């Protein structure tokens, strides 16, 4: 049964304004924005002053407001707002992937204790309904992997670099001017944004509530003309790709890093601010979702979908988590990578298990070989601080036994992984 909803909205930036416009032009949904809480008292806005407040309790303590929609940048303040709203019996819709990823177990407990709903479809992959699909369509499916392009900002930059020959800095400035990337773009280009998203996806795909700090992420900010030229000569593009994959019956592994993709890969032609998600499963096999991953209207439409779901009392049931299937996360896999470097000392600190290709020129050096994912995680700050650039080839080996003579089974996160 549908019911009318009064919305208390936190934030009126790109997504908040997108939601306002989408809601204004939508038919059939029984919801309206009652009040908007913002922080900046000096910013000019297109709505009259009486539509806004600067006191969060004007929304949180208002008995006429049914749901809180949280669309601010500050993850810790967002958690305070969301948790307090749920304690007051208000359901919540949020797009804050960092807040959800860092506090998911607490938020799920608050949902159950206070008999409210917390929905966050907009936190992952823009307009692509991947969370709802994992919850409903794949709830009893044996999933092999979920991977793809989860960040529209970095994908926009890489598209401009590879398709139009723009310098990285120029493409980044364009993304910032369009509102796809923040003034400080580290969250996007550093791979943190997709790491938070893959953490959330792991909860719905495999039932695990993980700490994002335990997941390796490296970004595209050190991309150089040497890397671009190497990729083009091999017929590849570079995409920033998060993976969550099943290593064996009881173990999954997660990572975020740039990846070479060839023209046969589903992600090869996912360009600009678009996202693409690949789900590989035992019975439904491979499915590919694509759509806008950044921008006010695409993200606003995902928020609106959650608001609509609340009109008939929908909530995530975390079905994979409640099945109590024994699954854990491990970094004990070997990843085949291309590493472009300048300082040889880096190779001593990040040792390779094996090397298949090596080149050393006057101003360009690289290695291709396997390195343990745990080694990468332990040295990720070092890799970020250097001028090195790391790219996965899409090939992985699962270490199946602890001793040095253990057999190794090669796995691939997708069938389009580059050939050995």
Interacting residues of 28 by C-beta distance below 8 A, sequence separation 6+: none
Domains of the chain, earliest start first:
5-119 (3.40.50.720), 134-289+327-412 (3.30.360.10)
Q: What's the confidence (pLDDT) of residue 294?
A: 78
Q: Which of 17-26, 190-199, 277-286, 301-310 is modeled with the greatest confidence?
A: 190-199
Reduced to 3 states (helix: H, G, I; strand: E, B; else coil), residue 364 is coil
E strands of 282-405, at which residues? 286-292, 328-329, 333-341, 354-360, 365-372, 389-399
Q: What's the confidence (pLDDT) of residue 2?
A: 59
Q: Which residues are catalytic?
A: 197
Taking only the tens place, the pLDDT of each residue in 347-356 is 999 999 999 9
Taking only the tens place, the pLDDT of each residue in 271-285 is 999 999 999 998 889
Query: What's the average model confidence in pLDDT over 252-272?
Result: 97
> For the whole model, what pTM was predicted?
0.92
Taking only the tens place, the pLDDT of each residue in 348-383 is 999 999 999 999 988 899 999 999 999 999 999 999
Q: What's the confidence (pLDDT) of residue 410?
A: 53
Taking the C-alpha atoms of residue 43 and residue 163, their distance in angstroms, rounded to an integer, is 37
**Which residue has better confidence, 414 or 32?**
32
Q: How far is CA 133 from CA 136, 140, 141, in A?
A: 5, 12, 11
From 1-5, 95-99, 291-295, the region with the lowest mean pLDDT: 1-5
Query: What's the average model confidence in pLDDT over 68-77?
Result: 95
Query: What's the average model confidence in pLDDT over 277-296?
Result: 90
Q: How far is CA 246 from CA 2, 162, 282, 331, 415, in A?
A: 39, 31, 11, 12, 14
pLDDT tier at 312, thresholds 50, 70, 90: confident
Query: What's the average model confidence in pLDDT over 98-121?
Result: 96
Q: What are phi and psi of 262, to 5 degrees?
A: -95, 180
Interacting residues of 43 by C-beta distance below 8 A, sequence separation 6+: none
Taking the C-alpha atoms of residue 255 and residue 373, their distance in angstroms, rounded to an integer, is 8
Taking the C-alpha atoms of residue 202 and residue 39, their distance in angstroms, rounded to an integer, is 33
Taking only the tens place, the pLDDT of each residue in 219-240 is 999 999 999 999 999 999 999 9
């Amino acid at each position: 049964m549908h019911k009318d909803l009064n919305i208390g909205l936190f934030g009126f930036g790109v997504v908040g304004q997108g939601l306002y416009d989408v809601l204004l032009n939508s038919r059939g949904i029984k919801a309206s924005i009652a009040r908007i809480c913002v922080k900046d008292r000096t910013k000019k806005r297109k709505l009259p002053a009486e539509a806004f407040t600067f006191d969060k309790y004007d929304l949180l303590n208002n008995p006429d407001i049914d749901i809180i929609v949280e669309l601010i940048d500050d993850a810790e303040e967002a958690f305070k707002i969301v948790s307090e709203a749920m304690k007051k019996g208000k359901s919540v819709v949020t797009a804050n992937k960092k807040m959800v990823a860092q506090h998911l177990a607490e938020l799920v407990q608050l949902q159950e204790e206070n008999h409210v709903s917390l929905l966050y479809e907009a936190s992952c992959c823009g307009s692509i309904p991947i969370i709802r699909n994992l919850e409903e369509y794949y709830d009893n499916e044996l999933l092999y992997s979920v991977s793809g392009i989860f960040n529209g900002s970095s994908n926009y930059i890489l598209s401009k670099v590879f398709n139009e020959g723009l310098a990285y800095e120029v493409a980044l400035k364009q993304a910032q001017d369009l509102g796809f990337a923040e003034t400080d773009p580290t969250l996007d280009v550093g791979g943190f944004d997709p790491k938070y998203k893959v953490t959330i996806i792991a909860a719905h795909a495999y039932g695990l509530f993980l700490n994002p700090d335990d997941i390796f992420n490296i970004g595209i900010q050190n991309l150089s003309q040497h890397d671009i030229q190497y990729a083009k000569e091999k017929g590849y593009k570079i995409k920033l790709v998060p993976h969550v994959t099943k290593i064996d019956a009881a173990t999954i592994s997660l990572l975020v890093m740039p990846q070479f993709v060839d023209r046969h890969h589903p992600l090869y032609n996912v360009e600009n601010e678009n996202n693409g998600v690949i789900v590989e499963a035992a019975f439904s096999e491979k499915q590919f979702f694509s759509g806008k991953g950044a921008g006010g209207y695409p993200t606003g439409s995902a928020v609106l979908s959650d608001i609509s779901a609340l009109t008939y009392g929908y909530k995530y049931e975390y079905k994979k988590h409640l099945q109590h299937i024994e699954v854990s996360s491990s970094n004990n896999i070997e990843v085949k990578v291309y590493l472009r470097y300048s300082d040889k000392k880096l190779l001593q600190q990040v040792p390779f298990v094996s090397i298949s290709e090596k080149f050393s020129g006057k101003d360009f050096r690289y290695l291709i070989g396997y390195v343990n994912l745990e080694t990468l995680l332990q040295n990720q700050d070092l890799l970020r601080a250097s001028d090195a650039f790391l790219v996965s080839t899409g090939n992985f080996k699962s270490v199946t036994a602890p001793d040095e003579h253990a057999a190794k089974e090669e796995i691939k996160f997708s069938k389009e992984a580059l050939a050995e």
